[in-house]
Structure 1
Amino acid sequence: MAENKEEDVKLGANKYRETQPIGTSAQTDKDYNEPPAAPLFEPGELSSWSFYRAGIAEFMATFLFLYITILTVMGLKRSDSLCSSVGIQGVAWAFGGMIFALVYCTAGISGGHINPAVTFGLFLARKLSLTRAVFYMVMQCLGAICGAGVVKGFMQGPYQRLGGGANVVNPGYTKGDGLGAEIIGTFVLVYTVFSATDAKRNARDSHVPILAPLPIGFAVFLVHLATIPITGTGINPARSLGAAIIFNQDQAWDDHWIFWVGPFIGAALAAVYHQIIIRAIPFKSKA
């Protein structure tokens, strides 16, 4: 039984390439080989332990992401809390720092997506199958709901009074403003993911895949600095859904479509831009 399980793990790691989207180890040689496109549907994944292990990793990562970040947002809004001193910059660091840490922790297991928009963009680029993409998105949303639920359990009264960390278009901005901010913000994030994990760069520069979590987390930090005043910054449909479901007030649902449509459009644009522009650059080895 142990031998079969070990073989199953090897099969998932090698055949289904769960570590390819955001891997943490570079190619050992300087020759570039174009990775094959992931199949649209791979039935063998459903019988592989590595497939479910990756889903569990996405669930736990998104759970921890929502727990830390929503608690930070709640602390900022409470005038009697020590966390109120962190300001918008502190909230942005909480989001960016957690993404950095969680991508680093889960990259070798699931690819470290932690965001349905990232998963969608990588799916459009044929980095993973439809089966895995849907499974990841479901687990990410479940993790986000559980993470926000734990925060509410800690702060039952203040949670509802302070808005539950739900994303809304803030006063003074239109729905169009909010949609545009989400599209551009997600484009920045997903474009960074593609650039930091590009197979050509991994083959040429050995340090690139090792440092991949850093620019990704930094991109999240910078986008939050820019768009917290507009929408509270979604750029992650799971994060927006988890907070909206647990908060469960009308204002959380009025603009909720923006936090799905915007990130998915931004991710699609980033995938197209990377495939047409960046991937067209010829590979030149330093060797």
Structure 2
Amino acid sequence: MAKDTEVAGRGEYGGKDYTDPPPAPLIDAEELTKWSLYRAAIAEFVATMLFLYVTVATVIGYKHQSDPNVNPADAACSGVGILGIAWAFGGMIFILVYCTAGISGGHINPAVTLGLFLARKVSLVRALLYMVAQCLGAICGVGLVKGFQEAYFVRYGGGANELSAGYSKGTGLAAEIIGTFVLVYTVFAATDPKRNARDSHVPVLAPLPIGFAVFMVHLATIPITGTGINPARSLGAAVIYNQDKAWDDQWIFWVGPFVGAAIAAAYHQYVLRASGAKAMGSFGSNA
């Protein structure tokens, strides 16, 4: 029997064998009394700290190894290269989402948290706490990199996101919007209960496509912005690096990801899923 059976001539579906979770309440003050909320926030903090430590250390290590002043004979072929940096970001997201999905949902990114909040997957209280934890974790992660690689940290840009020479701010903003749309769209698709029920014969490990989305976006946008698509990642590097250029471009790495996440949430909920109107309509109540 089909997973969704259409009633002929009426455009209705019956026999649904999956259950959409009810929309999260807009404000759930009761959450503040539950240890599970704080445990989840700690998981987001630690995951984002580890994410920034490994990825920024990879960026700094590559720039040092490929520095012609350090390795004049073979600088162009030294280090992991752009491909290796993209793998570091995508691979760490795969690992960390896999490890924390059962505790916090494995957001590790304020833009992902915003998208899930707009789709009523998490409450406002949880979303704000997650974003604070993610930003603090990112700052601590980059701080560890600076502590371990102090001799190279500032020299090689501190892993900070900056708009590359030759690109306009509009181009950088568009790259961040599209890149974050790809990521958040993948998050929704990989965690959609309807998809999981329909494709139950094809087991999907949700962290895998999410990690691949991060990997592919980095390949496309590292030359433009260094790839943000994660405001916590960009903020953490800017705070520790603390140079004017990183701060001048910082707005791109907040506006772009948040706009991209909002578009992805609206696209998935309104265009791909009939639950969109119901979810957004429930903003008026805490039910």
TM-score, normalised by the number of residues in structure 2? 0.85
Quote the offset at 1:35 in angstroms.
1.6
Partner of 2:232: 238
SS in 2 for 1:211: coil
Residue in 2 aligned with 1:34? 20
Query: What are the ranges of 5 or more consecutive residues in structure 2 without an aligned counterpart?
Result: 1-14, 276-287
Q: Which residue of 2 aligns with 1:46?
A: 32
Residue 198 in 1 paired to residue 184 in 2? no
Which of 220, 229, 238 does residue 226 from structure 1 map onto? 220
Label 1:30 to 1:258 Cα distance change in 2 as closer, same or farther (>3 A).
same
Change beyond 3 A, Cα 1:249–1:207: farther
**Change over 3 Å in CA distance of 1:48–1:84 after alignment to 2:** farther
Matched, 1:55 2:55: no
- Within 1, Cα distance between the matches of 2:54 and 2:231? 17
Structure-to-structure mapping, 1:73-152, within 5 angstroms: 73-78=59-64, 79=67, 80=70, 84-152=78-146
- CA shift in 2, pair 1:207/1:161, >3 Å: farther
| Residue 208 of structure 1: how far off its partner (Å) | 6.6
Deviations 1:170-228 (A, max 9, x none): 00101001000000000000000000001111223336775100000000000000000
1:44 positional shift = 1.4
Identity %: 74
Matched, 1:155 2:141: no
Of 78-87 and 89-98, the range deviating more from structure 2: 78-87
Is the contact made by 1:54 and 1:110 (CA closer than 8 Å) also made in structure 2?
A: yes
Cα distance change of structure 1 residues 127 and 205 upon mapping to structure 2, 3 Å threshold: same
Deviation digits for residues 251-275 of structure 1, max 9, x if unmatched? 1101100000000000000000001
Separation (CA, whole Å) in 1 of partners of 2:34 and 2:122: 15
Given the alignment, which residue of 211, 217, 226 partners 1:217?
211
- 1:84 Cα deviation (Å)? 4.2
**Mapped partners of 1:185, 1:48: distance in 2:** 35
Q: Distance in 2 between matches of 1:30 and 1:96?
A: 34
| CA distance, structure 2, for counterparts of residue 84 and residue 220 of structure 1 | 24
**How far apart are residue 106 of structure 1 and its match?**
0.3
The answer to whether structure 1 residue 69 and structure 2 residue 55 are counterparts is: yes
Whole-angstrom distance in 1 between the partners of 2:41 and 2:115: 17
Aligned length: 253
List runs of 5+ in structure 1 lacking aligned partners.
Answer: 1-28, 282-287
CA-based RMSD: 1.8
Q: Report the Cα distance in structure 1 between the residues aligned to 2:198 and 2:110, rounded to whole angstroms.
A: 29
Aligned partners of 1:260 and 1:42: how far apart in 2? 26
Determine helix, strand or coil for the equivalent of 2:82.
Answer: helix
Instruction: Name the CA distance, whole Å, in 2 between partners of 1:73 and 1:207.
Output: 39
Query: 1:140-175 CA distances to partner (integer Å, 9 max, x unpaired)?
Result: 000000000000001112101111000000001010
**Secondary structure in 2 aligned to 1:161?**
coil
- In the alignment, the residues of structure 2 paired with residue 121 and residue 139 of structure 1 have an alpha-carbon distance, to the nearest angstrom, of 17
Change (3 A) 1:63 1:207: farther
CA distance in 2, matches of 1:126, 1:226: 30
Q: Distance in 2 between matches of 1:103 and 1:207?
A: 23
C-alpha distance in structure 2 between counterparts of 1:237 and 1:247, whole Å = 15
CA contact (8 A) 1:58 1:136 kept: yes
Give the Cα–Cα distance (whole angstroms) in 2 for the partners of residues 61 and 117 of structure 1. Answer: 15
The whole-number CA distance in structure 1 between the counterparts of 2:46 and 2:106 is 11
Cα distance between partner residues in 1 of 2:235 and 2:255: 13
Deviation of the 1:116 alpha carbon: 0.2
Deviation sequence 1:229-280 (CA, Å, 0-9, x none): 0000000000000000000011110110000000000000000000111113
Assess if the C-alpha contact under 8 Å between 1:167 and 1:233 holds in 2.
yes
**Equivalent pair of 1:75/1:84 in contact (CA under 8 Å):** no
SS at match of 1:251: helix
* SS of equivalent to 2:122: coil
